[in-house]
Amino acid sequence: MLNRGYYWLVLALSIPAFVWLVPTIWMVSLSFQPNDVLARTTSSTALGLVPIPFTAENYAALFTFGQTPLWFLNSVIVSLGMTLGVLLVSATAGFALARLKFPLKTPLTVLILIGLMVPEQAVFIPLYTMFADFGWHNSYHALMLPRIAVPIGVFLMMSFFKAIPDDIEEAARLEGVGWLQIFWYVMLPLARPAMMTLAILTFLYAWNDYLWPLVSAQQREYFTITLGLASIQSNFAQSEGLGRVMASGVIASLPVVILFLIFQRYVVQAMTVGGSKG
Amino acid sequence: MAKESRASRRVFGQTQAAVVLLLPFMAVYVLFLIYPFFRGIWISLHDWNLLAVAFNPDAKEFVGASNYIKVMWGKNITWSAWASPTLQILGAVGVVASVVLHRGRRLSKATALAIGIGSALFFLLPGFHPGEEGRWYDRRFWPTVGNTLLFVGFTVPGVTVSALILAAALNRETRAMSALRTLFFLSQVLSVTVVTLIWQIMFSPRQGLIANITELFGGSPIVWLTDERFAMAAIVITTIWWSLGIAMILFLAGLQDVSTDLYEAGALDNATGMKAFWYITLPNLKRTITLVIVLQIILHFQVFGQSHLMTNGGPNDTTQVLVRYIYQTGFRDSELGRAAAMAVFLFLIMGAFSALQFVLGREEE
């Protein structure tokens, strides 16, 4: 199978793959170059793709002044909180819809299905006024709450729980174990792969979300890193220096890139699920 | 007896357990999705100034459909079949094509219906224009919708074609191929602000990598983001770079279902390489391709960050898109009622495509 044609194909594909990677390499490379050099030219060595002259000063500066560390922390709190919330409500609801018999089950499922059709962009104005009425803006819960009830999470968990064979559950029921215990001790441990996929899908979404934090967090102390980066990128040349803004970009991307490289299989699965159903 | 009561207790127990387990989700779902959805419709029926209502909750006034009229309609609007011939001819051709192709059994009922309705709208909507002494109440709304469609119209085919070719080429389980897949997918996990940060500087005429390369070959750099001819192209290029990965992954998943026997049989008939792609891969991926296209239309119709951060909707409104217009109307002009009306319009379009996606997904099963 691995004939000469194959090696030519790999070689031919390496060129577009490299081109695809160039913008990212460039960001990383610029983040390691001194700001005074960048003010003159961005193409010092190999069109700027190699960081010579080299400096780590931009990163040091990020952590001594500026709000990047705080925004980073905000993003961690919000993303983890949202992920936990989504896992909790999706796993419980998914289990109930997949394995329990109860009245009004079909109408409820349809009601949740309809929610798949409502995009965030269509409800952010009413959500804004609601949260303003509650006096909730500029807080962590305001950033987390609107995206906790995502229908896609319920359907992902539901289809997983449906696929578990009946005999596991029946064995427990014969022992007289209650439904909540079956859910917690029997089903939840089995559902780890599905929950992992859902967790990564949610974390990526939360980390990268821009529109809702933009309208909800007006005080800079509650910016997420995604929002903070947007707020400094418009005037990078004057105030912060190109190298430092690029360093912020690298820091902002680091968690999702690491997550992606370690859990690539789950990320791809999460994207496929998120993409094909909602 | 004992058995029966145990059974009934179990059913009762199930309902109780279901209530306990469903309650957290349903509470958040109703409060933060269902209720806001209806509240959005309610806001769209009011003259609702963000600041005025914030100071005095009674400062809103019920105005019925007035916001919708102010956004979408105008004075002395008439309809004619030749108002914008290109789009309307395209629409008419689309309607005829969907009927003919469906008769010839080349298209399934759902696909034909979708293309037919879409084309009919292309024929009907551009036909409206202000008559003598007439004008649109909101001059910017329809051009904004047009820009959004233009963005979708360039991005979706761009992503689909390149992702399809890549997926077909990378569909082998070897280390090298999986490494290449990782490289192409990497940009997908970056946030919109990182992506726009990179590309804003890539496109910069003074500091940009593209300008540096152009100068290397003696050309003069293009002022991408502030030139009316290139701003939309810049945003489309950025978006293709950003979102190619997901389409590629979905195509690769689809390719897993194409049996290798087909390729082996094809190889006997001398169908390898391009021929195999054209005669075996494409026909077998038809359903996946349709789904990926619909999915991307939904995704890219909601474009916001690229336009907001890279061009500010400019120059001269050429990259103004629908979600950014909603955001500005609501939060810069404080006209929440009108913004909500536009959001309902957005929902109707998105909802139609989601329904289509759902139907196509079901057809598959």
Cross-chain Cβ contact A100/B21 below 8 Å = yes
Residues of B in contact with A89 (CB under 8 A): 24-25, 28
Q: How far apart are CA A273 and CA A267, in angstroms?
A: 10
| Closest CB from B43, B177, B291 relative to A129 | B43
Residue B53: its chain A contacts at CB < 8 A?
Answer: 129
Contact B25 A90 (CB under 8 A): yes
Contact of B246 with A275, CB cutoff 8 Å: yes
Q: According to the model, what pLDDT value does residue B3 have?
A: 46
And the tokens for B18? Answer: 């279901």
Asked if the Cβ–Cβ distance from A17 to B180 is below 8 Å, we say yes
Residue where the block lists tokens 């003696």: B218
* Paired tokens of B53: 């209502």
Phi, psi of B279 (to 5 degrees): -95, -20
Chain A residues whose beta carbon lies within 8 Å of the beta carbon of residue B34:
111, 115
Look at residue A9 in the predicted model and tell me its pLDDT.
87
Location of structure tokens 């007896």 = B1
Asked if B225 is an interface residue toward chain A (Cβ–Cβ < 8 A), one would say no
pLDDT in tens, A168-185: 888 888 888 888 888 998
Percent of chain A at pLDDT above 70? 95
Residue B174: its H or E element = none
Give yes or no for B167 touching A (CB within 8 A).
no
Question: What DSSP letter does each residue of A33-65 carry, written as one string?
Answer: S-HHHHHH-S-SSGGGTS--S---HHHHHHHHS
Which positions in chain B touch A113 (Cβ < 8 Å)? 358
Which pLDDT belongs to residue A85? 96
Sort out which chain A residues have CB atoms less than 8 A from B302's CB and list them: 119, 121
Which of B189, B264, B331 is the best substitution to test chain A (most A C-beta atoms within 10 A)? B189
Residue B104, classified by CB atoms within 10 Å of its CB into exposed (0-12), middle (13-18) or buried (19+), is: exposed
Q: Which residue of B has its CA nearest to A214?
A: B327
Query: What DSSP line would sit under A193-219, residue for residue?
Result: HHHHHHHHHHHHHHHH--HHHHHH--S
Which residues in A lie closer than 8 A to residue B201 (C-beta atoms)?
A: 30, 42, 242, 246
Query: So where are chain B's domains?
Result: 2-43, 77-136, 143-364
Decide if A31 contacts A58 (C-beta within 8 A): yes
CA B32 to chain A, closest CA, distance in angstroms equals: 5
- Answer whether B208 sits within 8 Å of A42, measured CB to CB: yes
Do A129 and B291 count as a contact with CB atoms less than 8 A apart? no
Q: What is the CA radius of gyration of chain B?
A: 25
Q: How confident is the model at residue A267 (pLDDT cuts 50, 70, 90)?
A: confident
Q: At what angle do helices A225-233 and A68-99 cross, to 10 degrees?
A: 140
pLDDT score, position A239 = 60
Q: How confident is the model at residue A232 (pLDDT cuts 50, 70, 90)?
A: confident
Can you tell me the distance from the alpha carbon of A269 to that of A275, in angstroms, rounded to the nearest whole number?
10
| Distance spanning both ends of chain A, measured CA to CA | 38
Rounded Cα distance, B364 and A78, in Å: 37
pLDDT score of A272 more than 80: no
Residues B22, A104: Cα–Cα separation, whole Å:
12
Q: Categorize the per-residue pLDDT at A278 as very low, low, confident or very high, splitting at 50, 70 and 90.
A: very low
Q: What residue ranges of chain B have pLDDT lower than 50?
A: 1-5, 8, 365
Which superfamily does B143-364 belong to?
MetI-like (1.10.3720.10)
pLDDT value of position B12: 57
Query: Cβ contacts (< 8 Å) between B11 and chain A: which residues?
Result: 101
Encoded tokens for B249: 């992954």
Which residues in chain B have their CB less than 8 angstroms from residue A179's CB?
A: 13-14, 17
Residue A136 Cα, gap to closest chain B Cα (Å) = 13
Q: Does B14 touch chain A (CB under 8 A)?
A: yes
CA distance A102 to chain B (A): 5
Across all residues in chain A, what is the average pLDDT? Answer: 88
Phi, psi of B273 (to 5 degrees): 55, -125
Closest CA to A127 of B30, B330, B35: B35
CB B283 within 8 A of CB B303: no
Q: In chain A, whose CA is at the least distance from the CA of B328?
A: A215
Interface test with B, best of A58, A125, A265 (most B CBs within 10 A): A125
Residues of chain B found within 8 Å of residue A191, distances taken between Cβ atoms: none
- Minimal C-alpha gap between A122 and chain B (Å): 5
CATH number of A66-277: 1.10.3720.10
Instruction: Give the start-to-end residue ranges of the domains of chain A.
Output: 4-55, 66-277
For position B159, what pLDDT does the model report? 96
| Residue A231 contacts residue A223 (beta carbons within 8 Å) | yes
Q: Can you give the C-alpha Rg of chain A in angstroms?
A: 23
Of residues B61, B64, B66, the one with CA closest to residue B47: B61
The ipTM value here is 0.91
- Binding-face residues of B in 19-48 toward A, CB within 8 A: 19-22, 24-26, 28-29, 31-37, 39-40, 42-43
Return the higher-pLDDT residue of A272 and A67: A67
Q: How far apart are CA B48 and CA B135, in angstroms?
A: 24
